[in-house]
């Protein structure tokens, strides 16, 4: 699939190449998850052009890359706010107060889960277990930075720090 | 070999067999959806769960290997409970829309629900609804019905070699879809319709046209490429409603190409010729059969009288049956003419010792270790041979290619020489020389050496000549060199027969006799009269412009045709003949297999089977020997012992070809045309099938690589005038870096000159 | 503490050091010594596997399969490529031990993977790291770089002539990839959909090559076993349940966190270590082995010791050692609703019973929670669960059923109250 208008930066491509190098030469597809992550980190979300570009770069069918992009839930197939907050609401976090944090986040931002504030500053998502339950409630900021021991006060401080 | 017990039957099964295999062997049916003998095992539908002694849980029969002493119960209470449990899950989100579903009556889910479903549903929650997908003009979707068996996805990956459908998202939200708005384009795409066990993927042209149980099923043979795919023609009230595959493992397995499936739409084309027509004062007029045939006979007899039999030429299509072709040649020879041919697309066709054929069984293609494919746009020429070649490559075979375009064959290509058609002789000579075969004075390139090395290794090998190699002006030298390569490497030399009856046409004698002209020569040196059968000369001929001019110049032209055609506008008489669904007959496919079939419906209007038309014509001309009372009696004359003695008339050998100057492939500055027969322009039927014509694969563009565009000072998207001699056309220019340097792709069917001749381009 | 002395802190002994994760800390305290010895002495693989068998180390990822036995399935003399894969796709609700290993003792995992790679004849190893812990993915890659620079990875490791390398692979949000064959699919760049077994990964694994997949904690235990012998490890725990184990305790306790204690420790002792139930509330129920394990009522749980056999006898499973503690304020319907949603959301969608059944169960529990339950719902839930359990390609089907059936079994009254009164019995 040709996507002449879409391009990733040289840095992003270097990162993808680093991932590709981890696998046997004929197994470039193994790097697709990382490549999609890197593309998303650079562009903010995964457009169809981004997915086609990554597929082409790795020599795999575009639909196979699309399958991957839609299977793993940290990929964003639609534009998100500058700050995506993914709150874990699974049972251990719930027991430790995630419900109150969720209510507070929604009230404070005026949006529900899966929504973005009109100013494009925040997107709120409901997440599944992040594997740090002892430190719950937890959230992820833009997929890669974890914040633990959330309380309504801690959330206020976090939101204020995010531009 | 392991011995197992299945439903009380003791059974010896092959090592590595699955419980499903064992059940088939024992004649026991295990319900299933995702399992398909031609696809990898997914074990995802869980419908085939069976009880295996000592296993704590029911096991999927499709994926469970048998072990010695295994005891399997496929219909025990435990097995049936599991199967019913799965059926309940499949139905909870399946719409209850059987009355308006095209799959109704031939739906695996519907059938199995009778045996394993409950009469009332426990499910009281909201049902899933899935957005429709647009897969293009061939396949209709009702994706809410999908049960996620993944057969269609696996078909793309494993059989088609092109993953156009995937299963995106996950869990309950999993959906079969193409990559966003893309449509499926593969030439075998329609096979997902039979693979789909429910009504999620159905035929778009057939949509809501008939219920499956109202249709009568008639076995037939596809009239298109040389494979002779077995098909079923489904009819109701004297009309063909659809065509589906008829399984024949040796020929088409259980697949057919899209053109086999959808060309039936042309049967009801508005262009169908339904009564004899004559042209008087430039106007077409309907006429009765008797009048028409008497006029034809009188005119032919008069012309022969006045100008000699040499003035008459006969051109027939190899998509006609062997009986029709036989009688066609018999009429022409009866008139005294030896100018008879079916090879309109061939520039310099000669006649060998026997009929040119594949040289081996079709089934053997899939097990080849080494292949050299010469001058074949394989996916378009032979969609199902391409599938077999991919199969060979998948099993470790090496495919080598000589062509003018490095097209995507959807499998790994080992070695390739991509060069202008005029350089193919040189390319083959290089390969032959690298094998130490007698091949004249050429410089052997690394690529040629690589191909030679590939062909010298391995055991089962073939050198296959495609349509372009056969159409080539230098076909004999290509043939001779291919033969030398085959001999040096111990490979079989084979021809990929272009049409359903290419071999049959040769056996029936539709070839120039002593001093007879071949098709191209007949058009280059126009005859006074032409008898045409099933052809549209300017679309079929190697040189369209020459064909058109020859026909225009001729004094009398009669065409036996199923369709009115712009290409037949210059004719004097049109005689309506029945296409393959409306007449009985037989084709001989590329492996020499004689396949007979009966008409499925009555001929349209006044159309008649061509063999009957020719019988009357022969009698009106008082030629003698035309008193046939059945198509079988014609066949008995055409092929005296039927299948039994076909083999002895097949022969690919060529002798006495001087190799001469092998040329320097880089010498010329001229631009070559690569003029292939379009995949849906093969014959009068495909040309008139609306759904096929609506597919994305059909376009009338010019393609050239980036270097060519730069050299010409043109850019992709430009409108260009292409010119061959006096003929020219304005087309849009595309960039395709798979094209060889010095070559532009302009499909046949455009009113230009030689298919593989020189061409010029300029901005329009 | 150090790796030089056999304490019961097998994986988390670095915690009392200033820089627990550094290569310097690790090597100064006996790290990489086991590897050094194996490479120097060219210890035969059989001997290593024998020690692992003696240790009675059982897989720490949830299934509890004996590690030595798993290693013995690997066709070590197979001529082509072979792989060792570490499963750090830790996404089972309640489990958070492997993340701490990456944070506090990354080199012991590297050494464990090296020993496994050496023993099993692997050409390379991959560690599949849970999508949500990107920071640990990065930190483990830094640890790999340190190890590479120190000559523990790459060509000619420690002058032994043996080449081996390790890489981190980052997940991106799919619980199912914790299932080992889904993990392999994902590692190959596909959707994480489990494969039907047989064939097992030991014969057809990553890229179709023989592959062994072990949990992070399992592999991290290997250097300890090789330093001190299988017998010493076995004796840390109890027969058939060798060693210590990290228990991740979360929920209603005062000090949630990871506690590495010998297998066989009474649950009551762990609860005490975790500071007891918060706010002085009464213990109501415990999920002893991650969310997939059947819930146990307080009284049953208080009688259990923490080992595979004891928990199994009580009707649940030790699983990954993730102990979710619920006090008397918990509404069991609401708790189950969240868990059911999790399995519905995380079902890969490949096979019918799980794809269709998890959604059905969730919707019923959701209705009950929202006051729209029907009297027949509870039996229906159990019936649906029975139609999923044991009929799917992977264990996610069973995992989804475990909570539903056990919650309904042990807390049926609470569900019935919800259905009848359209509100919660607890709290209100």
Q: Encode pLDDT of C187-197 as tens digits.
A: 999 999 999 99
Minimal Cα distance from B162: which residue of A? A61
Q: What is the pTM of this model?
A: 0.96
Q: Where are the beta strands (DSSP E) in C17-129?
A: 83-88, 124-129
Hey, which residues does C261 pair with through a beta bridge? C245
Q: Which of residues 389-418 of C touch A (CB under 8 A)?
A: none
> Contacts of residue C130 in chain A, CB cutoff 8 Å?
130-131
Identify the residue among A67, A75, A114 best suited for mutation to test binding to B, counting B beta carbons within 10 A and taking the highest: A67
Measured N-to-C along each axis, helices C412-421 and C352-369 cross at an angle, to the nearest 10 degrees, of 60
Assign B561 to helix, strand or coil. strand
Q: Do C391 and B173 touch (CB under 8 A)?
A: no
The helix (run of H) or strand (run of E) holding residue C283 is strand C283-287
Task: Determine the pLDDT at residue B660.
Answer: 87
pLDDT of residue A3 exceeding 90:
no
Inter-residue long-range contacts of B6-12, CB under 8 Å, 24+ positions, other chains counted = B6/B71, B6/B72, B6/B73, B6/B74, B7/B72, B7/B73, B7/B74, B7/B75
Identify the residue among C61, C80, C127, C131 best suited for mutation to test binding to A, counting A beta carbons within 10 A and taking the highest: C131
Burial class (CB in 10 A: 0-12, 13-18, 19+), B125: middle
pLDDT means per 10 residues, chain B with 764 residues, are 94 95 97 98 97 96 96 97 97 95 96 92 93 94 97 98 96 93 90 98 97 97 98 97 98 98 97 97 96 97 96 98 98 98 94 95 98 98 98 97 97 96 95 87 94 98 98 96 97 98 98 96 96 97 96 97 96 98 98 98 97 98 96 97 95 93 76 96 97 79 92 92 94 94 92 94 92
Task: Tell me the shortest Cα–Cα distance from A68 to chain C, in angstroms.
Answer: 5
Task: Determine the pLDDT at residue B182.
Answer: 78
Task: Tell me the shortest Cα–Cα distance from B525 to chain A, in angstroms.
Answer: 48
DSSP per-residue string spanning B340-376: EES-TT-SS----SSB---SS-GGGGGG-SEEEEES-
At residue B600, φ and ψ (nearest 5 deg) are -95, -30
Q: Do B171 and C391 touch (CB under 8 A)?
A: no
The set of residues, in sequence order, having a beta carbon less than 8 Å from that of B366 and lying 6+ positions away, is: B388, B389, B391, B392, B395
Identify the residue among C85, C164, C250, C284 best suited for mutation to test binding to A, counting A beta carbons within 10 A and taking the highest: C250
Q: Which two tokens stand for residue B396?
A: 């470790």
Q: Measured between CB atoms, does C291 come within 8 Å of chain A?
A: yes
Q: Do B172 and C357 touch (CB under 8 A)?
A: no
Minimal Cα distance from C392: which residue of B? B46
C-alpha C213/C-alpha C210 separation (Å) is 10
Which ipTM score applies to this complex? Answer: 0.96
Contacts of A among chains (3+ CB pairs under 8 A):
B, C
The helix (run of H) or strand (run of E) holding residue C142 is helix C134-149
Identify the residue among C179, C186, C353 best suited for mutation to test binding to B, counting B beta carbons within 10 A and taking the highest: C353
Q: Measured between CB atoms, does A58 come within 8 Å of chain C?
A: yes
Q: Measured between CB atoms, does A126 come within 8 Å of chain C?
A: no
> Contacts of residue A71 in chain B, CB cutoff 8 Å?
168-170
Q: Which two tokens stand for residue B379?
A: 């996916």
Residue for token digits 């369209």? B544
The three-state (H, E, C) secondary structure of chain A, written as one string? CCCCCCCCCHHHHHHHHHHHCCCCHHHHHHHHHHHHHHHHHHHCCCCHHHHHHHHHHHCCCHHHHHHHHHHCCCCCCCCCCCEEEEEECCHHHHHCCHHHHHHHHHHHHCCCCCEECCCCCEEEEEECCCCCHHHCCCEEECCCEEECCCCHHHHHHHHHHCC
Task: Determine the pLDDT at residue A98.
Answer: 96
Q: Assign residue B634 a region: left if phi > 0, alpha if psi is -120 to 50, beta otherwise?
A: alpha
Q: Measured between CB atoms, does B171 come within 8 Å of chain C?
A: yes
> Contacts of residue A1 in chain B, CB cutoff 8 Å?
179
Q: Which of residues 160-179 of C touch A (CB under 8 A)?
A: 167, 169-175
Task: Tell me the shortest Cα–Cα distance from C186 to chain B, in angstroms.
Answer: 14
C-alpha B417/C-alpha B420 separation (Å) is 10
> Contacts of residue C355 in chain B, CB cutoff 8 Å?
89, 148, 171-172, 174
Measured CA distances, B451 to B106, B455, B514, C224, C305 (Å):
48, 6, 39, 56, 70
Q: Which of B686, B340, B618 is nearest to B505 (CA)?
A: B340
Task: Tell me the shortest Cα–Cα distance from C41 to chain B, in angstroms.
Answer: 42
> Contacts of residue B168 in chain A, CB cutoff 8 Å?
63, 66-67, 70-71
Minimal Cα distance from C81: which residue of A? A24
Task: Tell me the shortest Cα–Cα distance from C350 to chain B, in angstroms.
Answer: 6
Task: Determine the pLDDT at residue B664.
Answer: 73
Cis preceding linkage at B361, omega within 30: no
Q: Which two tokens stand for residue B162?
A: 């092109």
Q: Do C352 and B46 touch (CB under 8 A)?
A: yes
Largest Cα span, chain C: 73
A-B CB pairs within 8 A amount to: 35
C-alpha C282/C-alpha B627 separation (Å) is 105
Task: Determine the pLDDT at residue B665.
Answer: 66
Task: Tell me the shortest Cα–Cα distance from A143 to chain C, in angstroms.
Answer: 7
> Contacts of residue C326 in chain A, CB cutoff 8 Å?
95
> Contacts of residue B18 in chain C, CB cutoff 8 Å?
none
Identify the residue among A32, A70, A77 best suited for mutation to test binding to B, counting B beta carbons within 10 A and taking the highest: A70
DSSP per-residue string spanning B68-122: TT-EEESSSHHHHHHHHHHHHHHHHTS-S-GGG-TTTTS-HHHHHHHHH--SS--
> Contacts of residue C191 in chain B, CB cutoff 8 Å?
167, 170
Q: Do C353 and B170 touch (CB under 8 A)?
A: no
Measured CA distances, A48 to A40, A75, C54 (Å):
11, 12, 53
C-alpha C424/C-alpha C364 separation (Å) is 16
Minimal Cα distance from B51: which residue of C? C391
C-alpha C292/C-alpha C91 separation (Å) is 11
C-alpha B721/C-alpha B695 separation (Å) is 25
Provide the 8-state DSSP code for C355: H
> Contacts of residue C343 in chain A, CB cutoff 8 Å?
none
Task: Tell me the shortest Cα–Cα distance from C204 to chain B, in angstroms.
Answer: 15
Q: Which of residues 48-107 of A touch B (CB under 8 A)?
A: 48, 52, 61-64, 66-67, 70-71
Task: Tell me the shortest Cα–Cα distance from C355 to chain A, in angstroms.
Answer: 14
Q: Measured between CB atoms, does C293 come within 8 Å of chain A?
A: no
Q: Taken in order C318, C320, C322, C328, is the CA torsion positive or negative? A: negative
Contacts of B among chains (3+ CB pairs under 8 A):
A, C
> Contacts of residue A132 in chain C, CB cutoff 8 Å?
96, 99, 132-133
Burial class (CB in 10 A: 0-12, 13-18, 19+), B124: middle
Q: Which of B395, B408, B401 is nearest to B364 (CA)?
A: B395
Q: Which of A48, A52, A66 sits opposite B166 (nearest CB)?
A: A66
Task: Determine the pLDDT at residue C426.
Answer: 83
Q: Do A136 and C250 touch (CB under 8 A)?
A: yes
pLDDT of residue A2 exceeding 60:
no
pLDDT band with cut points at 50, 70 and 90 for residue A1: very low
Q: Measured between CB atoms, does A154 come within 8 Å of chain B?
A: no
Q: Measured between CB atoms, does A128 come within 8 Å of chain B?
A: no
Q: Which two tokens stand for residue B615?
A: 């019988």
Q: Taken in order C108, C109, C114, C117, is the CA torsion positive or negative? A: positive
The helix (run of H) or strand (run of E) holding residue C386 is helix C377-388
Q: Do A63 and B178 touch (CB under 8 A)?
A: yes
Cβ(B173)–Cβ(B129) below 8 Å: no
Task: Determine the pLDDT at residue B696.
Answer: 72
Mean pLDDT, residues A54-74 taken together: 97
Q: Do C393 and B44 touch (CB under 8 A)?
A: yes
Task: Determine the pLDDT at residue B751.
Answer: 85
Q: Do A63 and B170 touch (CB under 8 A)?
A: no
C-alpha C389/C-alpha C382 separation (Å) is 10
């Amino acid at each position: 699939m040709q996507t002449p208008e879409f391009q990733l930066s040289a840095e992003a491509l270097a990162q993808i190449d680093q991932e590709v190098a981890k696998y046997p030469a004929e197994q470039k597809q193994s790097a697709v998850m990382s490549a999609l992550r890197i593309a998303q980190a650079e562009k903010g979300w995964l457009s169809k052009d981004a997915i086609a570009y990554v597929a082409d770069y790795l020599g795999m069918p575009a639909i196979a890359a699309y399958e991957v992009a839609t299977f793993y839930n940290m990929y964003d197939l639609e534009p998100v706010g500058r700050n995506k907050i993914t709150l874990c609401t699974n049972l251990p976090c719930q027991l430790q107060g995630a419900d109150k944090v969720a209510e507070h986040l929604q009230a404070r931002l005026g949006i529900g889960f899966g929504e973005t504030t009109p100013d494009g500053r925040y997107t709120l998502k409901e997440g599944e277990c992040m594997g740090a339950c002892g430190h719950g409630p937890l959230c992820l900021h833009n997929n890669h930075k974890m914040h633990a021991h959330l309380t309504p006060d801690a959330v206020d401080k976090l939101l204020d720090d995010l531009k | 070999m392991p011995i197992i017990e299945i439903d009380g039957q003791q059974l010896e099964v092959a090592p590595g067999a699955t419980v499903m295999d064992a059940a088939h062997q024992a004649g026991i049916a295990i319900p299933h959806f995702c399992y398909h003998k031609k696809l990898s095992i997914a074990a995802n539908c869980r419908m085939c769960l069976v009880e295996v002694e000592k296993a704590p849980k029911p096991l999927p029969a499709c994926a469970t290997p048998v072990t010695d002493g295994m005891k399997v119960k496929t219909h025990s209470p435990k097995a049936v409970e599991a199967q019913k449990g799965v059926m309940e899950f499949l139905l909870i989100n399946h719409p209850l829309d059987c009355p308006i579903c095209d799959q109704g009556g031939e739906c695996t889910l519907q059938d199995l629900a009778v045996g394993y479903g409950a009469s009332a549903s426990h499910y009281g929650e909201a049902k899933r609804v899935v957005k429709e997908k647009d897969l293009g003009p061939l396949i209709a979707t009702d994706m809410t019905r999908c049960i996620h068996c993944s057969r269609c996805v696996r078909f793309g990956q494993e059989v088609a070699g092109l993953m156009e459908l995937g299963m995106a998202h996950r869990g309950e939200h999993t959906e079969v879809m193409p990559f966003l708005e893309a449509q499926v384009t593969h030439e075998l795409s329609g096979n997902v319709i039979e693979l789909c066990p429910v009504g999620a993927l159905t035929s778009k042209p057939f949509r809501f046209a008939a219920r499956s149980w109202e249709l009568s099923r008639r076995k037939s043979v596809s009239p298109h490429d040389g494979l002779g795919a077995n098909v079923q023609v489904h009819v109701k009230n004297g009309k063909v409603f659809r065509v589906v595959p008829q399984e024949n493992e040796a020929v088409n397995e259980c697949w057919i190409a899209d053109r086999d499936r959808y060309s039936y739409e042309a049967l009801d084309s508005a262009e169908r010729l339904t009564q004899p027509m004559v042209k008087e004062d430039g106007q077409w007029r309907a006429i009765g059969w008797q009048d028409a045939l008497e006029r034809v006979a009188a005119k032919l007899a008069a012309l022969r009288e006045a100008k000699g039999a040499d003035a008459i030429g006969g051109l027939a299509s190899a998509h006609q049956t062997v009986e029709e072709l036989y009688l066609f040649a018999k009429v022409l020879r009866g008139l005294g003419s030896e100018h008879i041919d079916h090879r309109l697309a061939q520039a310099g066709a000669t006649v060998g010792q026997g009929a040119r054929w594949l040289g081996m069984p079709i089934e053997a293609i899939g097990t080849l270790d080494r292949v050299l494919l010469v001058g074949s746009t394989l996916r378009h020429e032979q969609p199902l041979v391409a599938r077999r070649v991919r199969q060979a490559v998948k099993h470790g075979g090496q495919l080598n290619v000589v062509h003018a375009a490095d097209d995507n064959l959807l499998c790994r290509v080992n070695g390739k020489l991509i060069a202008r058609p005029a350089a193919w002789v040189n390319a083959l000579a290089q390969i032959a020389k690298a094998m130490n075969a007698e091949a004249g004075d050429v410089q052997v390139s690394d690529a040629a050496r690589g191909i030679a090395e590939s062909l010298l290794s391995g055991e089962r090998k073939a050198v296959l000549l495609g349509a372009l190699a056969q159409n080539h002006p230098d076909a004999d030298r290509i043939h001779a060199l291919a033969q030398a390569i085959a001999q040096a490497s111990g490979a079989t030399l084979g021809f990929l027969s272009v049409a359903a009856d290419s071999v049959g046409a040769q056996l029936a004698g539709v070839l120039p006799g002593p001093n007879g002209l071949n098709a191209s020569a007949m058009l280059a040196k126009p005859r006074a009269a032409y008898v045409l059968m099933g052809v549209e000369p300017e679309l079929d001929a190697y040189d369209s412009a020459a064909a058109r001019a020859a026909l225009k110049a001729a004094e009398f032209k009669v065409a036996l045709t199923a369709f009115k055609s712009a290409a037949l506008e210059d004719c004097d008489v049109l005689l309506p003949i029945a296409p393959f669904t409306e007449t009985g007959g037989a084709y001989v496919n590329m492996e020499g297999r004689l396949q007979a079939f009966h008409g499925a419906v009555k001929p349209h209007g006044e159309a008649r089977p061509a063999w009957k038309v020719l019988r009357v014509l022969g009698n009106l001309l008082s030629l003698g020997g035309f008193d046939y009372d059945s198509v079988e009696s014609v066949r008995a004359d055409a092929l005296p012992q039927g299948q039994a003695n076909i083999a002895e008339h097949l022969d690919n050998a060529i002798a006495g070809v001087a190799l001469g100057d092998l040329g320097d492939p880089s010498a010329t500055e001229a631009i070559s045309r690569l003029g292939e027969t379009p995949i849906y322009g093969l014959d009068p039927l495909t040309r008139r099938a609306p759904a096929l014509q609506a597919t994305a694969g059909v376009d009338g563009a010019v393609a050239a690589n980036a270097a060519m565009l730069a050299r010409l000072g043109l850019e992709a998207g430009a409108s260009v005038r292409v010119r061959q001699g006096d003929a020219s056309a304005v087309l849009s220019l595309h960039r395709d870096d798979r094209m060889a340097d010095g070559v532009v792709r302009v499909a046949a069917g455009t009113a230009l000159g030689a298919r593989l001749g020189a061409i010029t381009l300029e901005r329009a | 503490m150090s790796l030089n002395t056999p304490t019961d802190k097998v994986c988390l002994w670095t915690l009392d050091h200033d820089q627990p994760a550094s290569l310097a800390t690790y090597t100064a305290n006996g790290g990489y010594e086991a590897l050094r010895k194996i490479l120097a002495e060219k210890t035969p693989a059989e001997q290593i596997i024998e020690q692992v068998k003696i240790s009675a180390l059982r897989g720490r990822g949830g299934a509890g399969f004996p590690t030595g036995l798993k290693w013995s399935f690997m066709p070590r003399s197979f001529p082509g490529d072979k792989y060792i894969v570490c499963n750090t796709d830790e996404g089972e609700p309640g489990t958070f031990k492997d993340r701490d290993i990456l944070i506090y003792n990354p080199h012991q995992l590297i050494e464990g993977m090296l020993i496994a790679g050496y023993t099993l004849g692997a050409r390379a190893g991959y560690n599949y790291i849970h999508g949500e812990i990107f920071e640990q993915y990065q930190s483990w890659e830094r640890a790999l770089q340190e190890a590479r620079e120190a000559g523990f990875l790459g060509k000619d490791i420690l002058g032994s002539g043996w080449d081996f390398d390790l890489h981190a692979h980052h997940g991106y949000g799919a619980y199912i990839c914790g299932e080992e064959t889904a993990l392999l699919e994902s590692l190959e760049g596909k959707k994480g959909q489990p494969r039907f077994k047989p064939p097992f990964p030991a014969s057809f694994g990553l890229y179709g090559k023989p592959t062994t997949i072990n949990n992070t904690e399992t592999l991290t235990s290997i250097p300890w076993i090789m330093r001190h012998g299988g017998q010493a490890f076995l004796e840390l725990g109890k027969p058939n349940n060798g060693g210590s184990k990290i228990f991740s305790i979360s929920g209603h306790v005062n000090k949630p966190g990871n506690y590495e204690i010998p297998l066989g420790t009474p649950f009551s002792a762990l609860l005490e270590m975790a500071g007891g139930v918060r706010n002085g509330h009464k213990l109501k129920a415990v999920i002893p082995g991650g969310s997939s394990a059947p819930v146990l009522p307080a009284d049953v749980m208080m009688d259990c010791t923490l080992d595979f056999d004891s928990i199994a006898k009580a009707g649940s499973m030790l699983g990954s050692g993730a102990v979710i503690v619920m006090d008397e304020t918990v509404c069991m319907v609401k708790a189950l609703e969240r868990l059911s949603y999790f399995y519905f959301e995380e079902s890969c969608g490949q096979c019918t019973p799980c794809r269709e059944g998890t959604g059905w169960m969730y919707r019923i529990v959701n209705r009950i929670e929202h006051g729209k339950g029907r009297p027949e719902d509870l039996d229906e839930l159990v019936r649906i669960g029975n139609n999923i359990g044991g009929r799917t390609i992977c264990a996610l089907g069973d995992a989804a059923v475990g909570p539903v059936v056990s919650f309904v079994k042990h807390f049926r009254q609470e569900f019935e109250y919800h259905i009848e009164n359209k509100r919660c019995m607890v709290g209100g």
